[in-house]
Amino acid sequence: MDLGDNPPMSAPDSIQQVPQPEANPQKARTGINRVWHATGYSIAGLRAGWHEPAFRQEALASIVLLPLAFWLARSWVEAALLAGSVLIVMIVELLNTGIETAIDRIGPEWHNLSKRAKDMGSAAVLLSLLLCVGIWAAAIAQRLMT
C-alpha cells in the first residue's frame, strides 16, 4: 500500500477547531496600547545596544557631537545634516548588532552566509562613519575658511 497517494484527513463536522492563540500578542494590540508597548520594546533595544562597546562609544560621542552640531551649523539644514549623520551612525550600529545577534542565535558554527551577513553589516557601519566624518569635515572646513 502506497501511503503517499492518500488524501489528507479532515476533521469531522462534529469536531470544532480550537482557535490557536496569537503567536505574538503585540499584533493584537491597537492604538495607544500598541504604541506604549512598542516604546517599551524600543527602550529595551537601546538598553541592549548599550551593552555593545561600539554603540556605547558612539552614544558617548553623540553627547558631545549633537550640541556641537547646533553650535557649528550656520543654518537649520547644516544642523540637520550634522546631527542626522551622528544619529545615522548609531542607527546603523544598532541594525548591525541586531544582524550579528540573530546570526549568533542560529549557531556558533562558521558558515559562509553568516560571515557574509556580518561583513555586510560591518560595511554598513563603516560607510555611515565615513559619511559622518565627511559631513563634519566639510562643515568644519567651511567654518574655518569663512
**In sequence order, which residues have a C-beta less than 8 Å from that of residue 95 and are 6 or more positions away?**
121, 124
How far is residue 33 from each of residues 23, 24, 27, 40, measured CA to CA in Å? Answer: 18, 15, 11, 11
Specify whether 109 is catalytic: no
Residue located via cell numbers 541586531: 98
Distances from the Cα of 65 to the Cα of 49, 60, 89, 132, 144, angstroms? 19, 9, 12, 11, 18
Of 93, 100, 86, 104, the C-alpha closest to 49 is 93
Catalytic residue among 22, 58, 78, 93: 93
Catalytic residues: 93
